[in-house]
Amino acid sequence: MNWENENELDYALRGKAWKVYWHLLRTGTPQSVREVQRALRFSSPSVANHHLEQLRELGLVEKQELGGHYFLVGDVKIGVLRHYVKLGKLLFPRYFFYAAFSTTFYLAYLLLFVQSLTQDTLFGVTFGAVVCVIFWYEAARVWSMRPY
């Protein structure tokens, strides 16, 4: 979906509307107003309906004719979503893959190539540890920014 001004969409998609969008993105299935209300623990179905309709007006969701379930039609990469990758129904911070990759190779380096701690291997051990810590920190930081 093309948005003329990404800042306007970022502003419109905040608060509870952001949580509803995240929920629909995470579940990947059409949701009724009651399902959204229960999943997000809103005080009433009308709160969920209001935010679903807000998303519909933004062009991000549509309402099914039969059953009245809402489903995503637009996938936007704004805010924290820029840092996420969707695999099926799961959302992962992009840094998670970097962290897993670097940690795997760091452990392989430690197991296969480090026999003793010399000046050369000390650099590799230190550098690899720092890289892994940075990636895991960034993955955790982005994960903590999710709406719930």
pLDDT of 87 above 90: no
Question: Using CA atoms, how far apart are residues 30 and 82, in angstroms rounded to an integer?
Answer: 23
In this structure, are strands 61-63 and 70-72 parallel, antiparallel, or unpaired? Answer: antiparallel
Q: Which amino acid is at 129?
A: A
Q: Are 146 and 23 in contact (CB under 8 A)?
A: no
Q: Are 2 and 59 in contact (CB under 8 A)?
A: no
Ramachandran sector of residue 3 (left: φ over 0; alpha: ψ -120 to 50; beta: rest): beta
Alpha-carbon distance values, 81 to 27, 105, 117, 118, 138 (Å)? 15, 27, 42, 43, 14
Q: How confident is the model at residue 74 (pLDDT cuts 50, 70, 90)?
A: low
| pLDDT tens digits along 102-122 | 999 999 999 998 888 888 889
Q: How confident is the model at residue 1 (pLDDT cuts 50, 70, 90)?
A: very low
Average pLDDT, the chain: 88
Q: What percent of the chain has pLDDT over 70?
A: 93
What's the average model confidence in pLDDT over 18-31? 89
Q: Are 40 and 20 in contact (CB under 8 A)?
A: yes
Exposed/middle/buried for 115, CB within 10 Å: 0-12, 13-18, 19+?
exposed
Q: Give pLDDT, residue 117.
A: 86
Q: Give pLDDT, residue 59.
A: 85
In this structure, are strands 84-87 and 70-72 parallel, antiparallel, or unpaired? Answer: unpaired
What's the average model confidence in pLDDT over 111-134? 92
CATH 1.10.540.10 for the 6-76 domain, yes or no: no
Q: Give pLDDT, residue 95.
A: 95
| pLDDT tens digits along 32-63 | 999 999 999 999 999 999 999 999 988 889 99
pLDDT of 2 above 50: no
Q: Are 18 and 12 in contact (CB under 8 A)?
A: no
CATH 1.10.10.10 in the chain, residues? Answer: 6-76
